[in-house]
Each structure stands twice: as C-alpha cells, then as structure tokens.
Amino acid sequence: MSKPFRVAVAGLGTVGAGVVKILEDNKDVITKRAGRPVEVVGIMARDKTKDRGIDVSKYKWSETLEEFLNNDVDCVAEMIGGSEGIAKDCVEGALSSGKHVVTANKALLAHHGAALSALAETGKVQINFEAAVGGGIPIIKSLREGLAANKIKSVIDILNGTCNYILTEMQQTGRDFADVLKEAQEKGYAEADPTFDVDGIDTAHKIALLTSIAFGVKPDIDHMEINGIRNITAEDLVHAEELGYKIKLFGICKNINGKLVKSVEPCLVPLGSTISAVDGVLNAVNIEGDFVGTSLSVGFGAGQNATASAVVADIIDLARGNEIPTFGVPANDLVDADWGDVGDSVSRFYVRLVVVDKPGVLAEISAIMRDNNVSMEAVLQRGEDDENVPVSVVITSHLVKQSNIVKALDLIAQKQNLSESPCLMRIESV
C-alpha cells in the first residue's frame, strides 16, 4: 500500500472536530478515493480537556505553534480562523516548511491570498480552500477547474446563510429584523456578535475570493461597496412581493466594459426565478461564462458537516497528487484589477421614501427624478388621511446609471422632510 498522507489539524472547533471525525468514520472510502491512507498525526487547540465528541488522546497534541509545525506531516489543516495572528502564522509557517495547507479561512485569504499563493509556489506546495466559500457547494473546484475554459462575465451569489435565513423569515412571517435576528441567535444560525454576517463582511471575504479565481486578479477586499441587511424592514419585503420580487443579500462581481465592479448589497430578484427560491440557510452561486452560459449551484454553505466535508475533499485532492494554483493561475500571473466605479453601473432600482403626505410631494419627487435622468417604472403610495402622518412612497425605476439615482435621492432628502434615510436597492434579473 502507498505511503500514508499525514495531516495535522490546527483548531478543534466545530469544523476542526468535524474534519477529524470524517477522517475517522470514513477511513475506508477515503483511502480508496485518495489512493492511499489519510491519517491525522497531530493536533493543536486551546483546551485539551474540552469534550469535542472525538478521542484526542490518540493523536500527538502540540502545546505551541512551533511544536505543531515541527510535526512530520504532508499537510496542515488550518481551522483556527481570522485574518491575522496565529492563523496567519500557522499557514505561513506550514508553507515555508514545505507542507501543503487546507483551510476554511476566507478572511485570511481575502486579505493575504496573493502573498500566500506566491509563498506556496516558492515551496512547491499548495493551498486548497474549498470550505472557505459556500461550505458544501464545490464552487472553488467549479471555477478553478470545471469552468476553466470560459471567460467569466459575472458572479452573483448568496453566501451568508444567516442573512438568507433572516430575510426568509422576515418575508414569510412579517416580523422585523431585530426579532428574527434574536431567533437566529437562539437557534445557533447567528453569532452573539452578528456584525460580520449581517453587515456583509463575511460575504465580502467570499466574493473577493471568487472574483480572484473568476477574473485572474489578486484578492482585494478594499475596492468594494459593502452594505448589509440591518436597514431592511418588513415593509420593504412586503413592497417587494407586491411588485413581484424577493430580497436577497448578494455578493456581486461583473465585468462591465473591461472593468470589474464588485459589491455586497441587498437586491431584489424576480419571484419565480430559481435563485429567489433559495431560502433559509441555503447558499447559491450564479456564474455566467461566455461559452457555458449560466451555471447555478445551491447547497448548505455552513455547519459542521458541510464545511468539514469540503475540507476533507481538499485533503483527498492533495493525497491524490492533484496540483492546481491557489487562484487558478500562477501567483505571478495574478494582476491588480482594473476596478470600475459602482456608480457607473446601470441597473433598475427599488426606492422607498418615508415622507409627509401633503399635496405636491409626489410631483416634486417625480420632477427631481426626471431632472436627473431617472425614469420611474412604478409607484406605490400607502397614504393616510392625516397629513401629519409620514407615509411610504415606493418607486421602481427603468434602467438608470446608479450615480444618477443616488444624486436624485440626495436632492430629495434635502428638499423633503424625510422621516428616515431613503432606501435604495438594485433589481437583479438573475
């Protein structure tokens, strides 16, 4: 039998423990598929006494990172998380000492992916990170390998199950954001501090990685507008449904006239479209290529089993000897992207304004829109008899340059006594 492929696991949280469990429980099938045994020979975590549902006594336990990196292994599975600190030190140390790395750490790669990719190639080793994006959806493999013959036109994705769950529950029950967020935390779908999820940062890390593979550019977390779902109201979801849409949090990157435009933002998508039916904690990635057309992948994006399964699949690839550059092309071929301004993009938009209901308000709003080349498609107004009670005016636009409609809303805010800031969301026909 071939020499075993030796793995050391750093971090025994939910995913790390899941990795060890899969390698133990599915040892026979993994050996057949890898062409040789895959063995865990070392582990490192904070607390040796914690019950993780696995027997850690059979593995060499390292108390320090230096001791851990001195293990005689072929691959380090980094399950610590975070863009800096021990996770970064662990990955850099492993690569520098000629060890392959498998990681689920999207933040680390979004911030340092280009440098780590170059370090891996210098050491003639690889970084695999299927679990970092989409969990149980093999989207990294799809982009790096299955769609390698295509020039990619766009990537549009739902990549945060917490946000998708919250928006689904709000839409189905009519409850507000704060109420559903609390429930998501109680069910374990949202962290005690949900900032990374609901403010779009988690999705931003993931779309940065997909953008790198899709377009051959260095991972970049900075050239991106990031907007989460905190300001989406139950009223927005009701209005969207009336107009024939659902609201989803998207990570988006498009090639528009040779420039890449990237964002994270809540968008309206048509009811009846396939991606609108991706509800709850599910994830989805929609990729458009020049020859393949549109490819949509759907699955569980998080959780112990889905994420650990992706990690082990990456380990099996390495044990087989499959070699592919981290981001699909050699590190030296990754370029700094020519980033476009999202304000120059052209789309249809949804607008909600909360105004005092008095004569002439709608006419003035219409005039400002017209003067800024914004053509209105539909208008919904939910009025009250009392002129002192603020009401919602909901507008959908025809195709318009984003900077034009943003300018119009700024002028409306100056001229009208708005009860809250205007709500603006893109309409995507995915």
Tens digits of per-residue pLDDT, 125-154?
999 999 999 888 999 999 999 999 999 999
- Quick check: is 103 in a domain? yes
User: For the chain, how many helices (H) and strands (E)?
Assistant: 14, 17
Considering the domain architecture, whether residues 155 and 263 belong to the same structural domain is answered as yes
Considering the domain architecture, whether residues 73 and 197 belong to the same structural domain is answered as no
Considering the domain architecture, whether residues 117 and 168 belong to the same structural domain is answered as no
Report the CATH number at residue 351.
Answer: 3.30.70.260
Q: Cα–Cα distance between 214 and 144 in angstroms, integer?
A: 8
Q: Cα–Cα distance between 143 and 108 in angstroms, integer?
A: 20
At 273, list the tokens: 């479209």
Strand partners, 231: none
Which of 132, 155, 180 is a domain's end point? 132
Considering the domain architecture, whether residues 76 and 156 belong to the same structural domain is answered as no
At 295, list the tokens: 């490819």
- What phi and psi values does residue 61 have, to the nearest 5 degrees? -95, 125
Considering the domain architecture, whether residues 108 and 148 belong to the same structural domain is answered as no
CA quadruple 51, 53, 57, 58: dihedral, nearest 10: -170
Report the CATH number at residue 104.
Answer: 3.40.50.720
Considering the domain architecture, whether residues 162 and 283 belong to the same structural domain is answered as yes
Residue 295: the pLDDT is: 93
Which amino acid, one-letter code, is at 378? A
Residue 385: the pLDDT is: 59
Considering the domain architecture, whether residues 120 and 169 belong to the same structural domain is answered as no
Report the CATH number at residue 183.
Answer: 3.30.360.10
Tens digits of per-residue pLDDT, 235-285?
999 999 999 999 999 999 999 989 999 999 999 999 999 999 999 989 999
Residue 101: the pLDDT is: 98
Which of 69, 103, 132 is a domain's end point? 132
Residue 155 CA: distances (Å) to CA of 109, 133, 212, 327, 334: 18, 13, 11, 15, 18
Residues contacting residue 348 through CB under 8 Å, at least 6 positions apart:
377, 396, 397, 398, 399, 400, 426, 427
Residues contacting residue 296 through CB under 8 Å, at least 6 positions apart:
274, 275, 284, 285, 286, 287
- Quick check: is 257 in a domain? yes
Residue 387: the pLDDT is: 64
- What phi and psi values does residue 269 have, to the nearest 5 degrees? -130, 145
- Quick check: is 231 in a domain? yes
- Quick check: is 313 in a domain? no
Q: Is 65 exposed, middle or buried (0-12, 13-18, 19+ CB in 10 A)?
A: middle
Q: Looking up tokens 């493999």, which residue turns up?
A: 141
Considering the domain architecture, whether residues 44 and 186 belong to the same structural domain is answered as no
Which amino acid, one-letter code, is at 185? Q
Give the residues of the chain that fall short of pLDDT 50: none
- Quick check: is 49 in a domain? yes
Which of 109, 132, 155 is a domain's end point? 132
Q: Which of 114, 85, 9, 84 is nearest to 52 (CA)?
A: 9
Considering the domain architecture, whether residues 57 and 159 belong to the same structural domain is answered as no
- Quick check: is 22 in a domain? yes
Considering the domain architecture, whether residues 175 and 254 belong to the same structural domain is answered as yes
CB 105 within 8 A of CB 82: yes
Q: Which residues are catalytic?
A: 206
- Quick check: is 319 in a domain? no
Considering the domain architecture, whether residues 91 and 217 belong to the same structural domain is answered as no
| Domain count across the chain | 3
Which amino acid, one-letter code, is at 158? I
Considering the domain architecture, whether residues 112 and 168 belong to the same structural domain is answered as no
Residue 126's domain comprises 5-132
Which pTM was predicted? 0.93
Q: Cα–Cα distance between 308 and 296 in angstroms, integer?
A: 22
Question: Strand, helix or coil at 225?
Answer: strand
Question: Strand, helix or coil at 275?
Answer: helix
The H or E element that residue 44 is part of is: strand 38-44
Q: Cα–Cα distance between 115 and 335 in angstroms, integer?
A: 12
